[in-house]
Amino acid sequence: MKKGKKIVALLLVGMLVLSALTGCSGGKKPAGQTGGDAQPTQAGQSGDSVDAAQTYNGQDVSKPVELVMYYIGDKTEDEDLVLEKINAVLKEKINATLALKNMSLSDYSTKYALTIAGGEDVDLIYTSTWAFYQSEANKGAFAEVTDQVLADYMPLHKENQAEASWGQAKIGGKIYFVPCNMANVSANAIVIRGDLREKYGLDRLKGLKDLEAYYTAVAGDKDSGVSFAYNASQHNDTSKYIGLYSENNWVRIEGSLMNYFSYQYSDSVTADDLFWIYGTDEYLAYAKLMKEWADKGFWSKSAIANATDVKESFLNGTSASFTQNLGTVGAVASEVEKNHPEWKPEVYDLNPGADRFFAAYTGDGVAVLANSKNQERAFMALDLLKFDEELYRLVRYGIEGTHYKIVSDGIWAAGDQMSRNPFGNGFSWGLKNSMYEMTREDMFPDQKEIGDAWSAKAVEGPTAAFSFDDTKVKNELASLQSVYTQYIPLLDLGLVEDVEGTLAEFNKQAEAAGMQKVMDEMKLQLTAYLEGVKG
């Protein structure tokens, strides 16, 4: 009996020692973590299954879950390969895997709200000031990001996320999504085919007049091989930022009002400087110019129904230009230079005299759905996808050695298969984090030159951190959006017979929808905000 008791005692001691050893095992801490127990701990693993306690930041994650995430943009050819790597890390750290779904840029505007309202099990979704954050948050679609959420599930965000980003994300004093952690200069550039410009004997572009000359030459060249000078897709917002906003030195009001109100930049902006965009002579002139360009065949008469992304049209040679933010345009130029060097891509700032402003952090981000069954794990996944360096590089750059390679500290170069998973793909937009961004070794020269010039003079816009609370005008904004969708994309593309008549009808409908009430409320809130900034 004594011998039996001794054996049992030894077995118990051995089990306790084994438990202690396995309980201390696990991978390295997430990059960027300097405090908090954000490292998962595991006890008793068998293969890929987790049969005992596993935690993240002290929170139990022993139950395996799959998180469904929607993003805006096109799926890359190697997305599944990259996702497999991402899921291996997420499985280890929070016992979760990710399933990705996407909405293309050409149709997200019609699918976004339907996706959320459709009853599909979705845990995470890209959102931003330009992608329905305000409207969907006010519908109760998104889970609130509270201080407790940060403390319990997002320790890396709590420690490292830019404080200004949280203020910019507030709606009625509450936060409903996790903004990116990167504030770039908010402006658009354009890339064109240098070989075509040279073929037509044109000088390098300096402004809209030069762009029009280039478009005219392309449209008249039946042997160029391209379909359109600019293969516009459903709307012309990106061109509007160059031809209207930057051309007139206007500053956008971010958030739910970005399509409606603006002001001209000055050092002493007040709420009285705010104006309704579509009541200005500048917009009328712009809309007339777009009609002239449409009538000249610069883009398709059926562009409003074109579901092909403009970027893809430029990359496949059916469009002679592409307009977007500088980073995206520069990356496209680099890709073209690699795959079609004979096209001689050129990137331009067509408004070099305009003031430049740092974009709000809320220009990209990710929300956790209010009806998600896995909210806690979704917040944890966001914490790691953005602030774990290993995961961030997979999200943003792809697989090292395949899609990219590290040249030296902070410098990267394209891998042989980068075209199968381009840097800065749509999945990565909402997770951008300047802490782990690297400089591309072969950054397109025009991009670097323009970027340096912008950074040297950029300032934070007077309203960059302003967040409009639409509680008192929800119905008016919904009506306004409906009217906007009916008229403005067509006006922006010049696809109407009578510009002045159509614009007048739109303004009449907008007034009936409650535009003035929205503007009055906007001015009240902006006045209070500006006074708070000063005081």
**pLDDT, tens only, 110-143:** 899 999 999 899 999 999 988 888 889 989 999 9
Quote the CA–CA distance of 245 and 184 in Å, as a whole number. 17
Q: Does residue 126 sit within a domain?
A: yes
Give the model's pLDDT for residue 243.
Answer: 95
DSSP 146-212: -HHHHHHH-HHHHHHS-HHHHHHTEETTEE-SEE-B---B--EEEEEEHHHHHHTTPPPP-SHHHHH
Mean pLDDT score, 194-223: 97
pLDDT of residue 6 exceeding 50, the answer is: no
Kindly report the CATH number assigned to the domain that includes residue 80: 3.40.190.10
Q: Quick check: 103 and 70 in contact, CB under 8 A?
A: yes
Q: Does residue 195 sit within a domain?
A: yes
Q: Exposed e or buried b for every residue in 74-97, given b needs 16+ CB within 10 A?
A: bebebbebbbebbbebbbbbbbbb
Q: Does residue 17 sit within a domain?
A: no
Compute the chain's Rg from CA coordinates: 26
Q: Does residue 252 sit within a domain?
A: yes
pLDDT of residue 204 exceeding 90, the answer is: yes
Q: Does residue 8 sit within a domain?
A: no
Mean pLDDT score, 323-345: 93
The residue among 437, 457, 481 that closes a domain is 437
Q: Is 463 left (phi over 0), alpha (psi -120 to 50) or beta?
A: alpha
DSSP 261-272: EEEE--TT--GG
Q: Which residues contact 512 (CB under 8 A, 6 or more apart)?
A: none
For residue range 364-423, list pLDDT tens digits in order. 999 999 999 999 999 999 999 999 999 999 999 999 999 999 999 999 999 999 999 999
Work out the pLDDT band at 53, boundaries 50, 70, 90. low
Quote the CA–CA distance of 528 and 324 in Å, as a whole number. 33
What is this structure's pTM?
Answer: 0.69
Give the model's pLDDT for residue 533.
Answer: 62
222: number of CA atoms within 13 Å, CB side? 0
For residue range 78-107, list pLDDT tens digits in order. 999 999 999 999 999 999 999 999 999 888
For residue range 469-522, list pLDDT tens digits in order. 777 998 999 999 999 999 999 999 999 999 999 999 999 999 999 999 999 999
- H or E stretch at 414: strand 411-414
Q: Does residue 19 sit within a domain?
A: no
The reply to whether 475 and 338 lie within a common domain is yes
Q: Quick check: 268 and 524 in contact, CB under 8 A?
A: no
The reply to whether 266 and 286 lie within a common domain is yes
Give the model's pLDDT for residue 5.
Answer: 42
The residue among 379, 414, 437 that closes a domain is 437
Give the model's pLDDT for residue 233.
Answer: 86
The reply to whether 249 and 314 lie within a common domain is yes
Q: How far is CA 444 from the centre of its chain?
A: 21
What token pair was written down for 381? 């996944």
Q: How far is CA 50 from the centre of its chain?
A: 35
Q: Does residue 468 sit within a domain?
A: yes
Quote the CA–CA distance of 413 and 310 in Å, as a whole number. 25
The reply to whether 93 and 130 lie within a common domain is yes
The reply to whether 83 and 101 lie within a common domain is yes
Return the ∠ at Cα 528 (arms to 181 and 464), rounded to 5°. 25
What token pair was written down for 245? 């906003």
pLDDT of residue 35 exceeding 80, the answer is: no
DSSP 8-state code for residue 242: I
Q: Does residue 46 sit within a domain?
A: no
- Nearest CA-CA partner of 32 in 133, 159, 218: 159
The residue among 437, 464, 483 that closes a domain is 437
Quote the CA–CA distance of 246 and 351 in Å, as a whole number. 6
Q: Mean pLDDT for the chain?
A: 88
The reply to whether 366 and 350 lie within a common domain is no
Work out the pLDDT band at 535, boundaries 50, 70, 90. low
Helices 499-513 + 515-534 axis angle, to 10:
70
The reply to whether 484 and 351 lie within a common domain is yes
Give the model's pLDDT for residue 464.
Answer: 77
Q: Quick check: 320 and 195 in contact, CB under 8 A?
A: no
User: Of the given ranges (42-51, 381-390, 440-449), which has the lowest mean pLDDT?
Assistant: 42-51
- Nearest CA-CA partner of 432 in 383, 369, 365: 365
Phi, then psi, of 30 in degrees rounded to 5: -55, 135
Give the model's pLDDT for residue 474.
Answer: 87
Quote the CA–CA distance of 301 and 66 in Å, as a whole number. 44
The range of the structural domain enclosing residue 341 comes to 188-355+448-534
Mean pLDDT score, 241-265: 89
10 Å CB burial of residue 113 (0-12, 13-18, 19+) is: middle
The reply to whether 209 and 155 lie within a common domain is no
Work out the pLDDT band at 461, boundaries 50, 70, 90. confident
- Nearest CA-CA partner of 226 in 328, 336, 108, 73: 336
Domains identified in the chain, total number? 2
The reply to whether 90 and 196 lie within a common domain is no
The reply to whether 288 and 375 lie within a common domain is no
Give the model's pLDDT for residue 240.
Answer: 92
The reply to whether 130 and 179 lie within a common domain is yes
Residue with token string 């438990």: 19
The reply to whether 466 and 320 lie within a common domain is yes
Work out the pLDDT band at 292, boundaries 50, 70, 90. very high
Quote the CA–CA distance of 87 and 444 in Å, as a whole number. 32
